[in-house]
Amino acid sequence: MKEASHVLQDSAAPAKTMPRSRIMLLVGERQVGKSVVCQKLTRLLRETSIAVSGLLTRRTGPHALEVTEIHTSARYPLTLPFDDTAGVALTHFRMDLQAMARSAAALEGAFPTQVFILDELGPLELELKQGWSHALQLLRRKRYTLALIVVRPELLVEAIWQLPISVYTVIRVTPQNRDALPASLYQIAYEWCAAPDAVPMPGSESAPHERDKKEVEH
């Protein structure tokens, strides 16, 4: 049986109190703000020399999603009209197979990186082994310093079971901590990317320079 350790954070914890695990799982109820946390964290990281890559999703309608490739800035619809007959129907969305294939292929170009963000690993990946499930194989190669993966609470156990490592951190997003989380996660990412054993920025042999450190308010 796979053994794993985790810390469940119910508040935005300072970087120094967080255990160092290569993968963090961001969990929370539907529409609590997980995607917004990822978007704000991405913006903070882009203002420094830290390399950030991955896929972000944004809800654009009751049954519509848009995906952004962080490392290419490409943005396009991820879903079809809910009453369409094509694609894959999930509970609230009908996934566009061509868009899913395009974004899944983009994952290959997301590595090596320092911070990898994936929003999200859902039932399509963890239960049906479709969509962005290839991300689990890419994470096994460990060509990153920190990975932040969004997972629904009901899929947390399955996600943990399929993780390529045995040490991970679970962070719960709540209405009370969601505004402070991006800054806390930024501080964690900066500290870890500056560590001697961190994956260097692609095209560079060094970690982020101290002059690039941002001061952010918690």
Write down the domain spans for the chain: 8-195
Q: How far is CA 70 from the centre of its chain?
A: 11
Residue showing tokens 């983009």: 106
Give residue-wise pLDDT tens across range 118-138: 999 999 999 999 999 999 999
Look at the domain 8-195 and name its fold: Rossmann fold (3.40.50)
pTM score above 0.75: yes
Give residue-wise pLDDT tens across range 110-120: 999 999 999 99
pLDDT at 9 over 90: no
Average pLDDT, the chain: 86
Contacts of 118 (CB under 8 A, 6+ apart): 54, 55, 132, 135, 147, 148, 149, 150
The residue that leads in pLDDT, 10 or 104, is 104
Q: Best-predicted range by mean pLDDT among 90-99, 158-167, 203-212?
A: 90-99
pLDDT at 216 over 50: no
Q: Tell me the two tokens of residue 80.
A: 């079809």
The residue that leads in pLDDT, 106 or 167, is 106
Q: What's the angle, vertex CA 148, arms to CA 143 and CA 102, rounded to 5?
A: 75
The helix-helix angle for 34-46 and 181-193 (nearest 10°) equals 50
Give residue-wise pLDDT tens across range 193-205: 988 878 887 766 5
